[in-house]
């Protein structure tokens, strides 16, 4: 039996390739010397695309794949895939929810503790010899018993809330609608920011959340407030964040995502009250393996019966 043609966008692991290669003939978009000529000649051959949250399905690929039936994406965020358009064409889009909730929540905790307890400058103080030459490192801010605001109380947001309980936090949140949870709801991001000392963004990216964290929200968070972003770079107005940090309008930030990844503004790199990680929230061997297995499962299930295990909400009715 001939294998089904699969167009791969972005990297996959050896384990994923091994698991798929029995059923699929995989062509790698980024291996093609002349991308436009390749897509023009071969695009119509692919019923299946494997991508990730960063690349999604670029416009040239979408335009060149008229016979597409399924998109399986390695990641939970799918703002780079036009899921509404695909749903309207009956094309199934699958992502990898839930399996990364714990890892992303842990990354929030890591960034929060690092920025509040000044892990990076404190490490520098220890290894530079300043402890010996200049004495003890200054006191830092405790993470205990804080008011924490969660923007986006979904799968990951709720997991973050569970982590926060271990620190005695009073939990606030903002999402499109209130949830049946014992936390304080705020109808706007600004109101949520004004009520808390630590604000974490964990909504999806895309048009509806673009710059949800803007100058006004950061001002409301206030000079003792910390902002942590483990959502998407687009959720925060980066220029406003830099200005707020430079002007002392907030105390610090922990950032895993950026507006122009992999570019990070130089101003952020130079600040001691900012902790930066290169979009690694789900980036452990264990969690990436679980995500990869789900990507494979979605494609295999589609091959078997035309359905996918974890469709994005827009495609659940298909």
Which residues are the active-site residues? Answer: 232, 261, 279
Beta-ladder partners of 227? 199, 253
Of residues 83 and 251, the one with the C-beta less far from ligand A2R: 83
The one among 156, 161, 195, 275 contacting ligand A2R by CB under 6 A: 156
Selected range binding ligand A2R among 34-42, 141-149, 151-159, 285-293, rule: CB under 6 A: 151-159
Of residues 215 and 243, the one with the C-beta less far from ligand A2R: 215
What is the rounded end-to-end Cα distance, in angstroms, of the chain? 27
Q: How far apart are CA 125 and CA 35, in angstroms?
A: 49
Q: Which strand ranges, in their side-by-side order, compose the sheet holding 70-74?
A: 24-28, 4-8, 48-52, 70-74, 92-94
> Which 159-178 positions form the footprint of ligand A2R (CB under 6 A)?
175-177
Of residues 7 and 275, the one with the C-beta less far from ligand A2R: 275
Residue 186 binding ligand A2R, by CB under 6 A: no
Q: How far apart are CA 240 and CA 298, in angstroms?
A: 40
Where are the strands (E) in the chain, listed by range?
A: 4-8, 24-28, 48-52, 70-74, 92-94, 147-151, 170-174, 184-185, 198-201, 226-229, 252-255, 274-276
Residue 287 binding ligand A2R, by CB under 6 A: no
> Which 57-116 positions form the footprint of ligand A2R (CB under 6 A)?
76-77, 97, 104
User: Residue with the closest Cβ to ligand A2R?
Assistant: 154
Residue 56 binding ligand A2R, by CB under 6 A: no
Give the number of other CB atoms < 10 A from CB of residue 25: 13
Q: How far apart are CA 211 and CA 208, in angstroms?
A: 9
The one among 43, 56, 157, 254 contacting ligand A2R by CB under 6 A: 157
Q: How far apart are CA 269 and CA 279, in angstroms?
A: 15
In whole angstroms, how close is the CB of 207 to ligand A2R at the nearest point?
A: 9
# residues near ligand A2R by CB under 6 A: 21
The one among 232, 249, 279, 288 contacting ligand A2R by CB under 6 A: 232
The one among 6, 12, 83, 202 contacting ligand A2R by CB under 6 A: 202
In whole angstroms, how close is the CB of 125 to ligand A2R at the nearest point?
A: 33
Selected range binding ligand A2R among 35-43, 154-162, 237-245, 265-273, rule: CB under 6 A: 154-162
| Strands 198-201, 147-151: pairing kind | parallel
Left if phi > 0, otherwise alpha if psi is -120 to 50, otherwise beta: which for 214?
beta
Residue 231 binding ligand A2R, by CB under 6 A: yes
Tokens representing 43 are 């695009």
Residue 208 binding ligand A2R, by CB under 6 A: yes
Which positions touch ligand A2R (CB under 6 A)?
76-77, 97, 104, 152-157, 175-177, 202-205, 208-209, 231-232
């Amino acid at each position: 039996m001939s294998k089904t043609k699969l167009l791969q966008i972005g990297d996959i692991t050896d384990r994923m390739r091994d698991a798929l290669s029995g059923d699929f003939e995989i062509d790698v978009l980024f291996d093609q010397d002349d991308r436009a000529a390749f897509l023009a000649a071969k695009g119509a051959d692919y019923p299946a695309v494997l991508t990730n949250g960063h690349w999604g399905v670029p416009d040239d690929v979408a335009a060149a794949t008229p016979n597409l039936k399924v998109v399986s994406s390695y990641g939970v965020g799918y703002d780079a895939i036009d899921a509404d358009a695909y749903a309207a064409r009956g094309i199934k889009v699958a992502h990898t929810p839930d399996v990364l909730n714990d890892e992303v929540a842990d990354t929030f905790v890591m960034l929060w503790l690092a920025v509040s307890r000044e892990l990076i400058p404190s490490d520098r103080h220890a290894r530079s010899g300043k402890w010996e030459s200049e004495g003890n490192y200054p006191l830092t801010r405790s993470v205990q018993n804080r008011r924490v605001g969660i923007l986006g109380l979904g799968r990951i947001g709720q997991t973050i809330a569970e982590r926060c309980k271990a620190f005695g936090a009073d939990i606030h949140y903002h999402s499109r609608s209130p949830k049946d949870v014992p936390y304080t709801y705020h109808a706007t991001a600004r109101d949520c920011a004004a009520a808390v000392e630590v604000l974490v963004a964990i909504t999806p990216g895309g048009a509806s959340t673009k710059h949800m964290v803007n100058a006004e929200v950061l001002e409301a968070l206030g000079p003792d407030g910390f902002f942590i972003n483990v959502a998407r770079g687009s959720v925060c107005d980066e220029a406003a964040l830099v200005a707020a940090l430079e002007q002392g309008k907030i105390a610090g930030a922990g950032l895993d995502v950026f507006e122009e990844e992999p570019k990070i503004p130089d101003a952020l790199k130079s600040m001691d009250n900012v902790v930066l990680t290169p979009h690694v929230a789900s980036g452990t061997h264990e969690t990436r393996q679980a995500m990869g297995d789900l990507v494979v499962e979605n494609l295999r299930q589609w091959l078997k019966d035309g359905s996918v295990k974890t469709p994005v909400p827009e495609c659940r009715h298909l």
